[in-house]
Amino acid sequence: MRYDVPLVAMTKGPDRRRFVLIAAGASLGAVGAGLLVARLFAVSDSGRLWLAIASLVFAAGATAFIATRGRANARSLRELAQKVRPGAAGADPLQDLSGGIDDLLARVRELEGGLARVEALGRERDRLAAAQEIAHVGDWEWNAVQDRVTASGELHRIYGLNPGEFPSTVAEWTERLHPSERARVRAALEASRQSGAPFTREERIVRPDGEARDLYVWGRALRDGQGQVIGLAGASQDITEMRRAERDLATRARDLERSNADLEQFAYAASHDLQEPLRMVASYVTLIARRYRGKLDRDADEFIAFAVDGAERMQKLIRDLLTYSRVTRITRPMEPVDLGQTLRTAMTNLKVAIEDSGACVTAEPLPTVKGDATGLTALVQNLLSNAVKFRGEGPPNIHVGVERGGDEWRISIRDNGIGFDPAQAARMFVIFQRLHAAEKYEGSGIGLAISRKIVERHGGRIWAESNAGGGATFHFTLPVASPEPAAAAVPAEKLE
């Protein structure tokens, strides 16, 4: 880019023409000014002559002054051009000066671009520091040739050090480790330097105040132009809180597992040991009822009936509790189980209830899964029994469907019964929780809790969907036994 110089040497070419124009303009201006004065002040003819002479003298003087200043400016520009670009003999000094200014401006622009890049790098560095602080990650670098270690500000904070206090050598760095870690980390650093392979590991450090912190460290080799390993660079993340939470969770899980085992043992022992005395109580209450019913007053007969009913319900409750505790205590081997056969076995066990209710059961072709045949039969039987028990005014219509989703089968048992409030769906699977009065629907409220235990033991899930008065659908999932294609849709079959 070229810049015009305001004052030029008026010696040749266009500059000479410019000088003539300037001188003519000055002369005409002086003469015009003299005529204007004569006209305004009514100057006599002799006076007008003197004004004309004075105007011409003034114009000549202005022209001489402009020429003198032009030559002086030209000399000054030549001297400045020689200073900016020495040795440019024979060159046009104005062009040399213009080129020097262009070079200077280009360098200024380069400096401005460099400053902008430095500012951008500063902003990126600030963002990186903020990200490291949030993630508790600090970066480090080890120059193995000079044995010099550098670390970021966040790594200083992780180590509990003030800025500039981070160890400068590997020997000093490893001294910050827990005594049990030092030899292992030194060997790992040397092995990584020798092999040049990336690495990850966990290590423990000790802060100046004595607090131990757990770090997750990863890094890679630094190489020179010939591919030789000259050091290591990486990052360290403070995972102390995460490891502490994991340890607390593991402790709570062990405590919960132990508590559940104790509860299951207690339930098994209580239900097992209570059976014999309860059987004796129930036997004698039944004997009293047979012997004295009708021989005493009406109140006595009613009291005896209450005692017999209570004893029978207690026996059933204890039997169900014993069954519930056995679900997790008895671990049978997982074998291929034909769910179609499981459904037929469950229907055989419920034959009387199905016939009495007039229920119609249809089913799609069911797959073979890996599981406990006895437990899966109890699961299907519990769900079918509920569909028959909680029926509406008409005969129950029960449909067993199947759908494959990824690596699991979803089995659905749908009925047209009384349904339930969807808000109570989760509560149904809690032990001893009933949605209906015992006087209207018999049962102990333990069947669905047993079903949940069985499904969870097989690695599946169970849930229910319904609208009050619109029937209910119970779903449970079971893992696919082997990589097999999903079965094609087959019409449902009525089961007898």
Query: CA 430 to CA 370: how far, in whole Å?
Result: 26
User: How far is the CA of 266 from the CAs of 254, 317, 423, in angstroms?
Assistant: 18, 15, 32
Q: Which residue has the higher pLDDT, 363 or 442?
A: 363
Question: According to the model, what pLDDT value does residue 11 have?
Answer: 43
Pick the CATH number of 245-325 from 1.10.287, 1.10.3210, 1.20.120, 1.10.3470: 1.10.287
Q: Which residue has the higher pLDDT, 261 or 247?
A: 247
CA 447 to chain centre: 40
Checking if the pLDDT of 495 tops 50, the result is yes
Residue 400: which pLDDT band, with cuts at 50, 70 and 90? very high
Question: According to the model, what pLDDT value does residue 475 have?
Answer: 94
Checking if the pLDDT of 283 tops 60, the result is yes
| pTM of this prediction exceeds 0.85 | no
Q: Find the mean pLDDT for residues 355-375.
A: 91
Asked whether 197 and 103 are in contact (CB, 8 A), the reply is no
Query: CA 343 to CA 400: how far, in whole Å?
Result: 9
Contacts of 102 (CB under 8 A, 6+ apart): 1, 2, 3
Residue 225: which pLDDT band, with cuts at 50, 70 and 90? confident
End-to-end CA distance of the chain: 100
Asked whether 355 and 396 are in contact (CB, 8 A), the reply is no
Residue 487: which pLDDT band, with cuts at 50, 70 and 90? very low
CATH class of 334-495: alpha beta
For a pLDDT cut of 90, what percent of the chain falls above it? 23
Q: Find the mean pLDDT for residues 449-473.
A: 87
Q: Which residue has the higher pLDDT, 343 or 466?
A: 343
Checking if the pLDDT of 120 tops 80, the result is no
User: How far is the CA of 47 from the CAs of 31, 34, 35, 50, in angstroms?
Assistant: 14, 10, 11, 5
Question: According to the model, what pLDDT value does residue 240 have?
Answer: 92
Checking if the pLDDT of 462 tops 90, the result is yes
What is the DSSP pairing of strand 148-151 with strand 137-143?
antiparallel
Q: What is the 3-state secondary structure (H, E, C) of 399-468?
A: EEEEEEECCEEEEEEECCCCCCCHHHCCHHHCCCCCCCCCCCCCCCCCHHHHHHHHHHHCCCCEEEEECC
Q: Find the mean pLDDT for residues 287-314.
A: 82
The pLDDT tens digits of the residues spanning 56-87 come to 555 556 655 665 655 665 566 556 555 555 55
Q: Is 294 left (phi over 0), alpha (psi -120 to 50) or beta?
A: left
Q: Which residue has the higher pLDDT, 165 or 73?
A: 165
Q: Which of 31, 51, 78, 13 is nearest to 23 (CA)?
A: 31
Other Cβ atoms closer than 10 A to 437:
7
Query: CA 326 to CA 271: how far, in whole Å?
Result: 11
Task: List Cβ<8 Å contacts ≥24 apart for 1-8.
Answer: 1/102, 1/105, 2/98, 2/102, 3/98, 3/101, 3/102, 5/77, 5/94, 5/97, 5/98, 7/69, 7/70, 7/73, 7/77, 8/70, 8/73, 8/74, 8/77, 8/94
Q: Find the mean pLDDT for residues 302-328.
A: 77
Token pair belonging to 18 = 């410019």
Question: According to the model, what pLDDT value does residue 33 have?
Answer: 61
Residue 410: which pLDDT band, with cuts at 50, 70 and 90? very high
Question: According to the model, what pLDDT value does residue 78 have?
Answer: 58
User: How far is the CA of 437 from the CAs of 256, 309, 421, 444, in angstroms?
Assistant: 32, 16, 15, 10
The pLDDT tens digits of the residues spanning 45-59 come to 555 555 555 655 555
Question: According to the model, what pLDDT value does residue 403 have?
Answer: 93
Q: Which residue has the higher pLDDT, 198 or 88?
A: 198
Give residue limits of the domains in the chain.
Answer: 1-132, 136-238, 245-325, 334-495
Contacts of 415 (CB under 8 A, 6+ apart): 387, 390, 391, 396, 397, 398, 399, 471, 472, 473
70-74, 192-196, 447-451: least confidently modelled range: 70-74
Q: Which of 102, 9, 80 is nearest to 88 (CA)?
A: 80
Query: CA 358 to CA 355: how far, in whole Å?
Result: 5
Residue 334: which pLDDT band, with cuts at 50, 70 and 90? confident
Query: CA 431 to CA 449: how far, in whole Å?
Result: 5
Q: Which fold has domain 136-238?
A: Beta-Lactamase (3.30.450)
Checking if the pLDDT of 374 tops 80, the result is yes
Q: Find the mean pLDDT for residues 119-137.
A: 69
Highest mean pLDDT among 312-326, 332-346, 435-449, 469-483: 332-346
Q: Specify the length of the chain in residues.
A: 496
